[in-house]
Amino acid sequence: AQSVTQLGSHVSVSEGALVLLRCNYSSSVPPYLFWYVQYPNQGLQLLLKYTSAATLVKGINGFEAEFKKSETSFHLTKPSAHMSDAAEYFCAVSGAGNEKLTFGTGTRLTIIP
């Protein structure tokens, strides 16, 4: 079975500041890990994914995430926040070869001008 926990349902950062969104996972099999973003009135868009290759994964829009097995974490970061980053971010996990995605509760990111 898999699960993810996202710490912080709401995160606010100033424009230009570091963005850090936290995700911890639990998985009984080697995990595939994902970050999705949802802009208002839109679907879920894949930001990046980890599938057992490089532990530091780069995604779209300047985001990246690092898989840390020892900490069971997959935190999402961006060095400098932009106003357009305001959205809801979801961490998700699946098992290798498993189709089902298990999502966290999401983190709403607000950017302060």
Partner 1 sequence: EPEVTQTPSHQVTQMGQEVILRCVPISNHLYFYWYRQILGQKVEFLVSFYNNEISEKSEIFDDQFSVERPDGSNFTLKIRSTKLEDSAMYFCASSPGQGETQYFGPGTRLLVL
The yes or no reply on residue 53 touching partner 1 (CB under 8 A) is no
Site map (CB under 8 A) of partner 1, residues 72-101, x = contact:
------------------x-x-x-xxxxxx
CA distance 34 to 47: 8
Question: How far from each other are the two terminal CA atoms of the chain, in whole angstroms?
Answer: 41
- Using the minimum distance from each CB to partner 1, give the nearer residue, 17 or 101: 101
Q: Is residue 91 a contact partner of residue 24, using CB atoms and an 8 Å limit?
A: no
The reply on whether position 45 binds partner 1 by CB under 8 A is: yes
**Residue nearer to partner 1 on the CB measure, 43 or 113:** 43
Can you point out the beta strands (E) in 2-106? 2-7, 10-14, 19-27, 31-38, 44-50, 56-58, 64-68, 73-78, 87-95, 102-103
Q: Which of 44, 72, 77, 86 binds partner 1 (CB under 8 A)?
A: 44
Nearer to partner 1, 41 or 70 (CB): 41
Measured from the CB atom, the residue of 73 and 102 that comes closer to partner 1 is 102
Q: How many CB atoms lie within 10 A of CB 102?
A: 18
Residues of this chain that interact with partner 1 (CB under 8 A) are 32, 34, 36, 41-46, 49, 51, 90, 92, 94, 96-106
